[in-house]
Chain A
Amino acid sequence: MNKLKILIILLLLFYSNKSFALIEVDITRGNLKPLPIAVSPLFQDSKSKKNFKKELNIEDLGSEISKVIENNLKTSGLFNPLSKDAFLQKPDIAHLKPRFEDWALIKSQALITGKVLIEKEKLKVEFRLWDVLAGREMLALAFTTVPSNWRRVGHIITDKVYERLTGEKGYFDTRIIYVSEEGPKTQRIKKLAIMDQDGFNTKYLTLGNELVLTPRFNPTNQMVTYLSYFKNLPRVYLLDIETGIQEVVGDFPGMTFAPRFSPDGKKIIMSFAKDGNSDIFTMDIENRIVERITNHPSIDTSPSFSPDGKYITFNSDRSGYQQIYIMKSDGSNVKRISFGKGLYGTPAWSPRGDLIAFTKLHKGKFYIGVMRTDGKGERLLTENYYQEAPSWSPNGRVLIFYRETKSNDKGEGFSAKLWSIDLTGYNERLVETETDASDPSWSSLLSN
């Protein structure tokens, strides 16, 4: 009888076990469509409006800041800012408490609202990011700065929104240094120029008397290293953007070129060429101690540190053709990583550490591509007549490079423009510059 009871209990357990089984469904795919987002114009009261008009000669600063945010989000390719014409709620009310149904109605999944005002002669901007579908606030911050700095506030807001919605740091509060070019191809005037990543606030750092090439930002501060001519020899220069002080890095008996900073910003890594041989050296900025990294009878150039500073990637023709190599930061364990057809050059290690960007020349065409640090997973992102020198955005998602067009025999029709492309390879955009431009380098985030 007892055994029967046990049997019944066990059978009941068996039964109950089945009835509680939870159905699981694996969702392994999604869409990569840009996220629909509504950027409501930032609200400003009438008093602030007058102040903005007086100080900045801008009628509606709230709208202008929202346009900066909107443009940034759009260029990222990850967001689809919705047309303001479709907005049903006024900015002031939306900032207090959005009617989520109204925003969901226009298919928005996220909403940015905000308010601008002048307080004690300072610009105060507050913003909120809302999850429309969940009906929740996701982020709320306020910034205070001088009124003339309003564009930067727009960039910082975009960075915060981008980080909150994508999971990686933004790259909007950054600047780009490049070589501004003017005149016919045979007589180009090249100047160092710097601008915001969206092409605004361009400033020229040199007068154009000397040729300048390959400017590179220090990842930790506002120092720049570049190549210019000193005593008719190409030399590596250091320039402090904030003070305007520039100096030659070392006095080598040959020519130095292709400079780049180490991730901690304390060293410069560059090529030094003499008697047809080119090797890689580092120099400590503070004590000026020079250290040889490679020693090979071939052309080793375009060095770039890994973000942890433990490895260096460079290109070399030691195998007979120009290919990409990596080595330890002391020059040991040199290993070739590019094995595809064609020539590989200008490797740049991603700030994320996972990829190396490069320029590839194959069958007369130039490609910008990426590969993993072991050389596998090569992906060519864009192809053109002539393009090179990719530089990473600080979050390692976007590459900026320059592209040249063909000129005729007289040197006419030639142009050089900056372009950006993201890792998907689909979001390719022209970066507007005042003049022709080449050799871009992306700064790190100005505000961390």
Chain B
Amino acid sequence: MYKSLLISSGFHVFIVLLSLLTLPFIAKKPLDIPPLVSVELIQISDTTNIPFAPKAKKIIEKVKEENQKLLSEQAPPKKIKKDQNKKVKIEEKKDSISEITPKKTPTPENNKENVKKEKLEAIPLPDQNKEEIQIREETKQKPSKEINDDVLKKIVETKKPVIEDQDAKQVSEFEKEEIFDPNSIAALIDKSKEDLAKTNKKTDKISQSQDNSMDFSKLTLSEEDALKAQIFGCWSIPLGLPYNENLLVRIKLKLKPDGTLIKSEILDHARMNMPGQGFYKVLAESALRAIQLCQPLKVPTSGYERWKNLQLNFDAREMLGG
């Protein structure tokens, strides 16, 4: 009786300790997760930056399509240019008369106008690049007339896996995970035995992300120093900030394996619009500029899983208050 009671209480103590040490919501204070607002929203007057407006892409695509149609109809290109020029001039005049504020509400017309202007300035549009890529792909896939169907099939059969391999080389491990489609498991199983063997080998190995002996919450001192030193050089601290205030800006980054930025997100975003916290916006923008300027960040060469999500805490108080 006494023995079983001891075992029971011992087991209970073990469970409680285990849960205290492991359960995240008990072991640590709940993570301070501020509302997830994208960085783009933080920047002001993005309404006048047409290419960044969500509608802009669609409009640009439409204009592209229209232009393509015009070209396919073999319309004289000079005429189109003239028309565009005229439109721009008229719109410019309109601009000069109107205040700047109307630009804040972009109508599709305005967007079109800007798109046309950009074309005149020969600004490379993202869609143009896309077009180029598409054309290249088409030319790659286009079979020559001399090759008959059987040969073509063979080529396709032999070439396809090669192409896939090339893609696989270009895509990082991280991106592979992103690309992985659970619906295509069957297709994956159909892969050759070699592939299976390779993947088995891979899973047998203990990756850095799985290595329990690693400290997941830190970079090594040298890794951290390299990153810090890089960002110190890029961060121009706005000198007018009130140094008695809380001057901490926390930015969460999602990085590519080469250290370039996929996404940045300002935590404590709510402070942006708080009365009397106007300086915070200036500070946050300076920190974002520093990250942009430093790209690609000097991240460790290995252990991508460990640092693909990184939080940078910019604190200007030491510099300004000291």
Q: Hey, which bits of chain A sit against chain B, CB under 8 A? A: 3, 6-7, 10-11, 13-14, 17-33, 35, 45, 78, 93, 96-97, 99, 109, 115, 117, 119, 126, 128, 131, 133-142, 162, 164-168, 354, 395, 397, 424
Contact = CB atoms under 8 A, between A and B. Distances in A.
Nearest to A395: B240
B129 interface: no
A25 B219 contact: yes
B216 A21 contact: yes
A424 to B, nearest CB: 8
Contacts of A128: 48, 100
Interface in B123-161: 123
Contacts, number: 187
Contact of B22 (A14, A27, A139): A14
Given A31-B234, A134-B43, A395-B240, 7 more contacts: A13-B23, A30-B236, A99-B123, A131-B43, A134-B288, A135-B52, A136-B49
B23 to A, nearest CB: 6
A27 B288 contact: no
Contacts of B288: 133-134
Contacts of B11: 3
A13 B24 contact: yes
8 contacts: A6-B15, A13-B24, A25-B228, A27-B235, A31-B233, A126-B100, A136-B46, A138-B285
A26 B231 CA distance: 10
A10 B316 contact: no
A26 B310 CA distance: 11
A11 B18 CA distance: 9
A27 B231 contact: yes
A29 B100 contact: no
Contact of A138 (B44, B212, B238): B44
Nearest to B244: A354
Nearest to B47: A137
A115 B238 contact: no
Contact of B290 (A30, A115, A131, A162): A30
Q: Chain B interface secondary structure, helix, strand, loop or mixed?
A: helix
A395 to B, nearest CB: 7
Contact of A30 (B44, B103, B118, B237): B237
Contact of B313 (A20, A24, A135, A397): A24
A138 B242 CA distance: 21
Contact of A22 (B118, B123, B311, B316): B311
A29 B232 contact: yes
A107 to B, nearest CB: 9
Nearest to A17: B24
A3 B285 CA distance: 52
A150 to B, nearest CB: 18
B313 A30 contact: no
A136 B43 contact: yes
B184 interface: no
A166 B239 contact: yes
A165 B238 contact: yes
Given A18-B216, A23-B310, A137 B45 contact: yes
B315 interface: yes
B313 A167 contact: no
A26 B227 CA distance: 10
A31 B236 contact: yes
A318 to B, nearest CB: 31
A93 B95 CA distance: 13
Most interface-central of A10, A17, A30, A32 (chain B CB within 10 A): A30
A131 B209 contact: no
A4 to B, nearest CB: 12
B70 interface: no
Nearest to A77: B239
B100 A142 contact: yes
Contacts of B27: 17
Contacts of B95: 96
B310 A136 contact: no
A134 B289 contact: yes
A32 B319 CA distance: 9
Given A24-B313, A27-B314, A134-B289, A140 B45 contact: yes
A28 B318 contact: yes
Contacts of B227: 25
A253 B174 CA distance: 87
B272 interface: no
Contact of A137 (B48, B121, B224): B48
Given A27-B228, A97-B117, A139 B45 contact: yes
Contacts of A17: 22-24, 27
B91 to A, nearest CB: 10
Contacts of A20: 24
B252 interface: yes
Contacts of B216: 18-19, 21, 23
B117 A96 contact: yes
Interface in B64-105: 92, 95-97, 99-100, 103
Interface string B9-35: 001000100110111100100000000
B24 A140 contact: no
Contacts of A140: 45, 48, 100, 103
B309 interface: yes
